Amino acid sequence: MSLKIWIDGKHLPKEDAKISVYDHGLLYGDGVFEGIRVYHGKIFQWETHARRLFDSAKAIRLKIPYTPDQLKSFTEQTFKLNNFTDCYVRMVVTRGVGYLGLSPAKCATPSVFIITDTIELYPKEMYEKGMAVITASVIRNHPNALSPRIKSLNYLNNILAKIEAVDAGVPEAIMLNQEGNVAECTADNIFIVRDGIVYTPATFDGILEGVTRGVIIKLAGRLGIPLIEKSLQRHDLYVCDEMFLTGSGAEVVPVTKIDGRPIGNAEPGIITHRLIEAFRAFIRES
């Protein structure tokens, strides 16, 4: 059975779900999106995702033509129609169909589509043994050019860093900001552990405030694991005891090598394991 995609009020077969070549989301990357998980038939952290989606839209002066409750209902309809109880959701809002030319004023109605499908970003063995990453030469966009707190369709900055990772034979690349401090990876937030303390870059370091990142910060508090949001340099990554990444698609994945250098004893660390187990338990309880 073909997957059904919700697009502008209709469920269409995957092969028929299309947008216009004049849609400004395609022509100019003018739009916003969310990547969301469904576990056990329930949307994970919906309120947080919805808040970020609407904040992102507001920041680029894009009015979403539905309420958060309506979008939640459309999402539930779609994954149930596709017989999913566990899946990944891609919710996209574009500026809509317009004309050639940058002005969004000629786009009459935003377009919204919701994809529900399976996703596996990294092989299972990476969650058990850890992954290798590199530091990209491509830096994050300057926050005064385009705020990284907006989850927009403009992902070329991240894609260029991802190409460097692929060229290096690793699945992820860490991006630095305009000051040379650690920001985030191409699609994930980053955490390190040093002397029993967890550190992660703060919002002012040029990061997207990841939903899974927020859950991990909360879980660390519950477990009594000290966690500090602060600026980090590449040196901090090279000398840390543990490292892990978080994201809606990736969930929580250990990192055991950076730029060819082993992290700690080159195995996922104790605190990383504790947080992964706590995250899995949090999913079961949600």
Asked if 230 is an active-site residue, the reply is no
Selected catalytic residue, list 42, 58, 63, 151:
151
- From the number of C-beta atoms within 10 Å of its C-beta (0-12, 13-18, 19+), residue 1 rates as exposed
Q: Name the residues annotated as catalytic.
A: 151
